[in-house]
Structure 1
Amino acid sequence: MKELQDLVLLGKVTKPHGIRGEVKVYPYSGVPENVLQYSRIMLAPDEHTEPVEYTVERARVQKNCVLLQLKNCTTRNDSESLVDSLVFVESKALPKLGENEYYLRDLKGRQMVSEEGRIIGRIDGVLTVNDQDIARVVDGSREYMVPLVPDFLVSIDRDVVTVALPPGLLEINM
Protein backbone atom coordinates (compact mmCIF):
# COMPACT_ATOMS: atom_id res chain seq x y z
CA MET A 1 0.00 0.00 0.00
CA LYS A 2 1.28 3.47 -0.87
CA GLU A 3 1.77 5.64 2.17
CA LEU A 4 -0.26 8.84 2.04
CA GLN A 5 2.81 10.93 2.87
CA ASP A 6 4.44 9.55 -0.29
CA LEU A 7 1.59 10.88 -2.44
CA VAL A 8 0.70 14.40 -3.52
CA LEU A 9 -2.91 15.35 -4.20
CA LEU A 10 -3.14 17.00 -7.63
CA GLY A 11 -6.85 17.33 -8.16
CA LYS A 12 -10.14 15.57 -8.72
CA VAL A 13 -11.89 13.78 -11.58
CA THR A 14 -14.98 15.90 -12.22
CA LYS A 15 -16.71 14.10 -15.09
CA PRO A 16 -16.30 11.91 -18.15
CA HIS A 17 -15.45 13.54 -21.46
CA GLY A 18 -16.74 12.04 -24.67
CA ILE A 19 -17.42 8.37 -25.34
CA ARG A 20 -13.87 6.99 -25.51
CA GLY A 21 -13.08 6.98 -21.80
CA GLU A 22 -11.43 10.37 -21.25
CA VAL A 23 -11.86 11.99 -17.84
CA LYS A 24 -11.89 15.66 -16.94
CA VAL A 25 -9.62 16.56 -14.03
CA TYR A 26 -9.79 19.79 -12.04
CA PRO A 27 -6.25 20.58 -10.79
CA TYR A 28 -6.17 21.98 -7.25
CA SER A 29 -3.12 24.08 -8.12
CA GLY A 30 -5.18 26.13 -10.56
CA VAL A 31 -2.51 25.46 -13.20
CA PRO A 32 -3.71 22.65 -15.48
CA GLU A 33 -0.38 22.51 -17.34
CA ASN A 34 1.21 21.09 -14.17
CA VAL A 35 -0.73 17.85 -14.63
CA LEU A 36 0.55 17.29 -18.18
CA GLN A 37 4.02 16.18 -17.05
CA TYR A 38 2.91 12.97 -15.32
CA SER A 39 2.73 9.66 -17.17
CA ARG A 40 1.44 7.78 -14.13
CA ILE A 41 -1.23 8.88 -11.67
CA MET A 42 -3.04 7.27 -8.77
CA LEU A 43 -6.81 7.48 -8.27
CA ALA A 44 -8.77 6.86 -5.08
CA PRO A 45 -12.32 7.69 -3.98
CA ASP A 46 -10.99 9.41 -0.85
CA GLU A 47 -7.80 9.99 1.13
CA HIS A 48 -8.33 6.85 3.23
CA THR A 49 -8.62 4.30 0.43
CA GLU A 50 -5.64 2.70 -1.26
CA PRO A 51 -5.19 4.38 -4.66
CA VAL A 52 -5.06 2.52 -7.95
CA GLU A 53 -2.28 3.35 -10.41
CA TYR A 54 -3.13 4.37 -13.98
CA THR A 55 -0.93 5.08 -16.99
CA VAL A 56 -1.73 8.34 -18.77
CA GLU A 57 -1.81 7.73 -22.51
CA ARG A 58 -2.74 11.27 -23.49
CA ALA A 59 -3.27 14.57 -21.69
CA ARG A 60 -4.42 17.96 -22.88
CA VAL A 61 -5.57 21.21 -21.32
CA GLN A 62 -9.14 22.34 -21.80
CA LYS A 63 -9.86 25.72 -20.21
CA ASN A 64 -8.99 25.40 -16.50
CA CYS A 65 -9.01 21.58 -16.51
CA VAL A 66 -7.09 18.66 -17.99
CA LEU A 67 -8.51 15.88 -20.13
CA LEU A 68 -6.79 12.55 -19.51
CA GLN A 69 -6.96 9.37 -21.53
CA LEU A 70 -6.02 6.56 -19.17
CA LYS A 71 -4.85 3.13 -20.24
CA ASN A 72 -7.65 0.55 -19.94
CA CYS A 73 -10.26 3.30 -19.63
CA THR A 74 -11.80 3.09 -23.08
CA THR A 75 -15.54 3.70 -22.67
CA ARG A 76 -17.74 6.34 -21.15
CA ASN A 77 -18.85 3.78 -18.55
CA ASP A 78 -15.19 3.29 -17.55
CA SER A 79 -14.70 7.03 -17.13
CA GLU A 80 -18.01 7.51 -15.29
CA SER A 81 -16.83 5.04 -12.66
CA LEU A 82 -13.88 7.36 -11.90
CA VAL A 83 -15.93 10.54 -11.30
CA ASP A 84 -15.14 12.18 -7.92
CA SER A 85 -11.88 10.23 -7.60
CA LEU A 86 -8.95 12.10 -6.11
CA VAL A 87 -5.89 12.32 -8.36
CA PHE A 88 -2.48 11.71 -6.77
CA VAL A 89 1.12 11.40 -7.95
CA GLU A 90 4.05 9.97 -6.05
CA SER A 91 6.05 12.72 -4.36
CA LYS A 92 9.24 11.42 -6.00
CA ALA A 93 7.67 12.27 -9.39
CA LEU A 94 7.45 15.97 -8.54
CA PRO A 95 9.85 18.24 -10.42
CA LYS A 96 13.08 19.06 -8.61
CA LEU A 97 13.08 22.52 -7.11
CA GLY A 98 15.63 25.23 -7.52
CA GLU A 99 17.25 27.18 -4.75
CA ASN A 100 14.76 29.23 -2.70
CA GLU A 101 11.84 27.22 -4.12
CA TYR A 102 9.51 25.08 -2.05
CA TYR A 103 6.31 23.11 -2.25
CA LEU A 104 3.47 24.45 -0.12
CA ARG A 105 2.95 21.00 1.40
CA ASP A 106 6.51 21.15 2.77
CA LEU A 107 5.67 24.18 4.94
CA LYS A 108 3.54 22.07 7.26
CA GLY A 109 5.22 21.68 10.63
CA ARG A 110 7.49 24.71 10.26
CA GLN A 111 7.41 27.46 12.82
CA MET A 112 6.19 30.89 11.68
CA VAL A 113 7.82 33.94 13.28
CA SER A 114 7.58 37.66 12.70
CA GLU A 115 10.64 39.49 11.47
CA GLU A 116 10.92 40.93 14.99
CA GLY A 117 11.31 37.36 16.30
CA ARG A 118 7.82 36.90 17.78
CA ILE A 119 6.68 33.27 17.52
CA ILE A 120 3.31 33.20 15.78
CA GLY A 121 2.88 29.42 15.84
CA ARG A 122 3.37 26.25 13.84
CA ILE A 123 2.04 25.87 10.29
CA ASP A 124 -0.65 23.20 10.43
CA GLY A 125 -1.47 23.24 6.72
CA VAL A 126 -1.90 25.41 3.65
CA LEU A 127 -5.25 26.18 2.05
CA THR A 128 -5.82 27.62 -1.38
CA VAL A 129 -8.82 29.95 -1.53
CA ASN A 130 -9.60 31.78 -4.77
CA ASP A 131 -6.05 31.14 -6.01
CA GLN A 132 -4.63 32.59 -2.77
CA ASP A 133 -2.41 30.38 -0.60
CA ILE A 134 -3.13 30.77 3.10
CA ALA A 135 -1.16 29.17 5.95
CA ARG A 136 -3.16 27.83 8.87
CA VAL A 137 -0.95 28.62 11.85
CA VAL A 138 -1.70 27.16 15.29
CA ASP A 139 -0.33 28.35 18.62
CA GLY A 140 -1.95 26.47 21.50
CA SER A 141 -5.66 27.26 21.31
CA ARG A 142 -5.15 30.12 18.85
CA GLU A 143 -5.41 29.71 15.12
CA TYR A 144 -4.33 32.27 12.53
CA MET A 145 -4.90 32.37 8.79
CA VAL A 146 -1.87 34.04 7.20
CA PRO A 147 -1.79 34.85 3.47
CA LEU A 148 1.39 33.53 1.83
CA VAL A 149 2.00 36.49 -0.43
CA PRO A 150 5.45 37.69 -1.51
CA ASP A 151 4.97 41.02 0.30
CA PHE A 152 4.59 39.16 3.63
CA LEU A 153 7.27 36.47 3.20
CA VAL A 154 10.71 37.51 4.42
CA SER A 155 12.40 34.10 4.32
CA ILE A 156 11.64 30.40 4.25
CA ASP A 157 14.25 28.29 5.97
CA ARG A 158 14.34 24.58 6.71
CA ASP A 159 12.43 24.93 10.00
CA VAL A 160 11.20 28.53 10.10
CA VAL A 161 9.05 30.79 7.93
CA THR A 162 9.71 34.46 8.71
CA VAL A 163 7.00 36.97 7.83
CA ALA A 164 6.46 40.72 7.88
CA LEU A 165 2.76 41.11 8.56
CA PRO A 166 0.80 44.34 8.43
CA PRO A 167 -0.34 45.68 11.82
CA GLY A 168 -3.58 44.10 13.00
CA LEU A 169 -3.55 41.07 10.70
CA LEU A 170 -3.22 38.54 13.50
CA GLU A 171 -5.76 40.33 15.66
CA ILE A 172 -8.51 40.00 13.03
CA ASN A 173 -8.06 36.22 13.28
CA MET A 174 -9.04 36.20 16.96
Structure 2
Amino acid sequence: MLLGTVTKPHGIRGELKVRPVTEQPENIARYRHLYLAVSDQGRKMPCTNIQARVNGRTVILKLEECSTREQAEQLAGMRIWVASSDLPSIDGDQFYLHTLVGKQGWTVDGEIIGMVRALMSAGGQDILVLGEESKEYLIPVTRKFIVAIEEDRIVFDLPPGLLEINS
Protein backbone atom coordinates (compact mmCIF):
# COMPACT_ATOMS: atom_id res chain seq x y z
CA MET A 1 0.00 0.00 0.00
CA LEU A 2 1.28 3.44 -0.91
CA LEU A 3 2.10 5.64 2.10
CA GLY A 4 3.55 8.72 0.44
CA THR A 5 6.23 10.30 -1.73
CA VAL A 6 9.67 11.58 -0.76
CA THR A 7 9.72 15.28 -1.64
CA LYS A 8 13.23 16.31 -0.56
CA PRO A 9 15.94 15.89 2.08
CA HIS A 10 15.45 17.26 5.57
CA GLY A 11 18.66 18.45 7.21
CA ILE A 12 22.11 16.95 6.76
CA ARG A 13 21.73 13.52 8.41
CA GLY A 14 19.77 11.77 5.67
CA GLU A 15 16.25 12.44 6.88
CA LEU A 16 13.52 12.64 4.25
CA LYS A 17 10.52 14.92 3.90
CA VAL A 18 7.55 12.81 2.85
CA ARG A 19 4.20 13.96 1.47
CA PRO A 20 1.84 11.35 2.97
CA VAL A 21 -1.21 9.97 1.16
CA THR A 22 -2.63 8.21 4.19
CA GLU A 23 -5.45 9.55 6.33
CA GLN A 24 -3.31 9.13 9.44
CA PRO A 25 0.29 10.03 8.57
CA GLU A 26 1.42 9.39 12.15
CA ASN A 27 0.87 5.68 11.46
CA ILE A 28 3.92 5.61 9.17
CA ALA A 29 6.00 5.36 12.36
CA ARG A 30 4.50 1.94 13.13
CA TYR A 31 5.88 0.28 9.97
CA ARG A 32 9.48 -0.89 10.38
CA HIS A 33 9.81 -2.41 6.89
CA LEU A 34 9.18 0.01 4.04
CA TYR A 35 9.78 -0.18 0.30
CA LEU A 36 10.84 2.60 -2.06
CA ALA A 37 10.13 2.64 -5.78
CA VAL A 38 9.92 5.19 -8.57
CA SER A 39 6.50 3.92 -9.70
CA ASP A 40 3.79 1.39 -8.89
CA GLN A 41 5.35 -1.15 -11.25
CA GLY A 42 8.99 -0.36 -10.40
CA ARG A 43 11.27 -2.65 -8.44
CA LYS A 44 10.75 -1.92 -4.77
CA MET A 45 13.87 -1.40 -2.67
CA PRO A 46 13.50 -2.62 0.93
CA CYS A 47 14.35 -0.09 3.66
CA THR A 48 14.21 -0.01 7.45
CA ASN A 49 12.27 2.75 9.17
CA ILE A 50 14.20 4.05 12.19
CA GLN A 51 11.95 6.98 13.01
CA ALA A 52 9.03 8.92 11.56
CA ARG A 53 7.39 12.03 12.94
CA VAL A 54 4.68 14.33 11.66
CA ASN A 55 5.74 17.91 10.99
CA GLY A 56 2.78 19.99 9.83
CA ARG A 57 1.47 18.37 6.64
CA THR A 58 4.60 16.30 6.04
CA VAL A 59 6.33 13.36 7.67
CA ILE A 60 10.02 13.44 8.51
CA LEU A 61 11.35 9.93 7.93
CA LYS A 62 14.71 8.46 8.92
CA LEU A 63 15.76 5.26 7.15
CA GLU A 64 18.61 3.02 8.26
CA GLU A 65 19.92 2.94 4.68
CA CYS A 66 20.11 6.74 4.32
CA SER A 67 22.58 8.62 6.52
CA THR A 68 23.68 11.64 4.44
CA ARG A 69 21.99 14.53 2.70
CA GLU A 70 23.47 13.33 -0.61
CA GLN A 71 21.81 9.93 -0.21
CA ALA A 72 18.54 11.63 0.72
CA GLU A 73 18.72 13.79 -2.42
CA GLN A 74 18.92 10.63 -4.52
CA LEU A 75 15.63 9.42 -3.01
CA ALA A 76 13.61 12.55 -3.88
CA GLY A 77 10.58 11.56 -5.94
CA MET A 78 10.55 7.97 -4.73
CA ARG A 79 7.27 6.54 -3.54
CA ILE A 80 7.09 4.79 -0.17
CA TRP A 81 5.17 1.55 0.27
CA VAL A 82 4.31 -0.87 3.03
CA ALA A 83 3.52 -4.55 2.42
CA SER A 84 -0.18 -5.35 2.70
CA SER A 85 0.70 -8.11 5.15
CA ASP A 86 2.10 -5.46 7.55
CA LEU A 87 -1.15 -3.50 7.66
CA PRO A 88 -3.28 -3.85 10.81
CA SER A 89 -6.39 -5.98 10.51
CA ILE A 90 -9.69 -4.15 10.11
CA ASP A 91 -13.32 -4.79 11.01
CA GLY A 92 -15.64 -6.60 8.60
CA ASP A 93 -17.42 -3.47 7.37
CA GLN A 94 -14.17 -1.57 6.72
CA PHE A 95 -11.78 -1.90 3.80
CA TYR A 96 -8.47 -0.62 2.52
CA LEU A 97 -8.88 1.44 -0.65
CA HIS A 98 -6.06 -0.36 -2.44
CA THR A 99 -8.01 -3.64 -2.19
CA LEU A 100 -10.66 -2.22 -4.55
CA VAL A 101 -8.28 -1.97 -7.51
CA GLY A 102 -8.86 -4.85 -9.92
CA LYS A 103 -12.45 -5.51 -8.86
CA GLN A 104 -15.29 -5.27 -11.37
CA GLY A 105 -17.78 -2.46 -10.76
CA TRP A 106 -21.52 -3.20 -11.08
CA THR A 107 -24.65 -1.18 -10.46
CA VAL A 108 -27.47 -2.52 -8.29
CA ASP A 109 -29.42 -2.91 -11.57
CA GLY A 110 -26.86 -5.42 -12.87
CA GLU A 111 -25.06 -3.08 -15.30
CA ILE A 112 -21.28 -3.58 -15.56
CA ILE A 113 -19.46 -0.29 -15.12
CA GLY A 114 -15.95 -1.64 -15.60
CA MET A 115 -12.82 -2.65 -13.76
CA VAL A 116 -11.44 -0.43 -10.99
CA ARG A 117 -8.18 0.66 -12.62
CA ALA A 118 -6.89 3.26 -10.19
CA LEU A 119 -7.47 5.46 -7.18
CA MET A 120 -7.29 9.24 -7.15
CA SER A 121 -7.51 11.78 -4.40
CA ALA A 122 -9.20 15.06 -5.28
CA GLY A 123 -9.63 17.76 -2.69
CA GLY A 124 -9.98 15.39 0.24
CA GLN A 125 -12.28 13.01 -1.65
CA ASP A 126 -11.05 9.59 -2.77
CA ILE A 127 -12.16 8.67 -6.29
CA LEU A 128 -12.29 5.27 -8.01
CA VAL A 129 -11.35 5.24 -11.70
CA LEU A 130 -13.40 2.53 -13.42
CA GLY A 131 -13.86 1.50 -17.00
CA GLU A 132 -12.43 -0.06 -20.05
CA GLU A 133 -10.25 1.49 -22.75
CA SER A 134 -13.07 3.38 -24.51
CA LYS A 135 -14.92 4.62 -21.40
CA GLU A 136 -13.81 5.85 -18.03
CA TYR A 137 -15.93 6.65 -14.98
CA LEU A 138 -14.95 8.54 -11.85
CA ILE A 139 -16.91 7.47 -8.78
CA PRO A 140 -16.42 9.05 -5.35
CA VAL A 141 -15.66 6.56 -2.59
CA THR A 142 -18.53 7.01 -0.20
CA ARG A 143 -20.51 4.52 1.88
CA LYS A 144 -23.81 5.73 0.42
CA PHE A 145 -22.69 4.66 -3.10
CA ILE A 146 -21.10 1.30 -2.16
CA VAL A 147 -23.69 -1.40 -1.48
CA ALA A 148 -21.37 -4.40 -1.32
CA ILE A 149 -17.71 -5.31 -1.67
CA GLU A 150 -17.27 -8.91 -2.74
CA GLU A 151 -14.25 -11.02 -3.63
CA ASP A 152 -14.11 -9.87 -7.25
CA ARG A 153 -16.66 -7.07 -7.55
CA ILE A 154 -18.10 -3.91 -6.02
CA VAL A 155 -21.81 -3.15 -6.23
CA PHE A 156 -22.75 0.54 -6.44
CA ASP A 157 -26.06 2.34 -5.91
CA LEU A 158 -25.30 5.53 -7.81
CA PRO A 159 -27.44 8.65 -8.06
CA PRO A 160 -29.17 9.23 -11.40
CA GLY A 161 -26.88 10.87 -13.95
CA LEU A 162 -23.55 10.15 -12.25
CA LEU A 163 -22.37 7.75 -14.95
CA GLU A 164 -23.65 10.01 -17.72
CA ILE A 165 -21.64 13.05 -16.57
CA ASN A 166 -18.49 10.93 -16.82
CA SER A 167 -18.96 9.86 -20.43
* Same topology, TM > 0.5: yes
Give the SS at the match of 2:82. strand
Name the % identity. 40
Distance 2:52 2:33 in 1: 11
Q: Distance in 1 between matches of 2:45 and 2:103?
A: 31
Q: What is the DSSP-based 3-state SS (H/G/I as helix, E as strand, rest coil) of the residue aligned with 1:170?
A: helix
- Are 2:26 and 1:25 equivalent residues in the alignment? no
For normalisation by structure 1, the TM-score amounts to 0.85
* Cα distance in 2 between the residues matched to 1:135 and 1:48: 19
Aligned length: 167
Deviates more, 1:55-64 or 1:22-31: 22-31
C-alpha RMSD over aligned residues: 1.9
Q: Which runs of 5+ in 1 are unaligned?
A: 1-7
Matched, 1:123 2:109: no
Q: TM-score, normalised by structure 2?
A: 0.88
- Equivalent of 1:59 in 52, 57, 72: 52
CA deviation after TM superposition for structure 1 residue 34, in Å: 2.9
CA contact (8 A) 2:29 2:49 kept: no
Task: Give how far 1:135 is off.
Answer: 1.4
Match of 1:78 among 47, 71, 89: 71
* Secondary structure, aligned partner of 1:116: coil
Cα distance change on mapping 1:46 and 1:160 into 2, 3 Å? closer
Alignment counterpart, residue 13 of structure 1, candidates 6, 11, 20: 6
Unaligned runs of 5+ in 2: none
**Runs of 4+, deviation exceeding 6 Å:** none
Summarize the alignment of residues 141-160 of structure 1 with structure 2, pairs less than 5 Å apart: 141-160=134-153
| 3-state DSSP of counterpart to 2:2 | strand
